[in-house]
Amino acid sequence: MTRVELETGGSVWKLLVRAGDPVEQGDTLFILEVMKMEVPYVAPRSGQVAAVHIAEGDAVEEDQLAIEISG
């Protein structure tokens, strides 16, 4: 299981995947808004989204678990 954790705090602007979705390495998973800038988070490897722990509009913190990828 690969864990995608946040590198900084901000708010979830756009969530692009759901649990069960297949992803390829480099696919954009979600976009965080940090100080009026859009910061995309990409899949570190190919697999299937096992769990999504964030939602659009959420205020999030550094090191928070966002998404888990299996496979």
Residue 60 is predicted with a pLDDT of: 98
- pLDDT tens figures, 31-68: 999 999 999 999 999 999 999 999 999 999 999 999 99
Tokens of 43: 């899949």
CATH code: domain 2-70 is 2.40.50.100
Q: What pTM value is reported for the model?
A: 0.94
Could you tell me the pLDDT band of residue 19, with boundaries at 50, 70 and 90?
A: very high
pLDDT at 71: 87
**Strand arrangement, sheet containing 2-5:** 2-5, 65-70, 47-52, 22-23
For residue 7, the 8-state DSSP code is: S
Instruction: Put residue 5 in one of left, alpha, beta given phi > 0 → left and psi -120 to 50 → alpha.
Output: beta
Please compute, for residue 50, the number of CA atoms within 13 A of its CA located in the half-sphere on the CB side.
Answer: 12
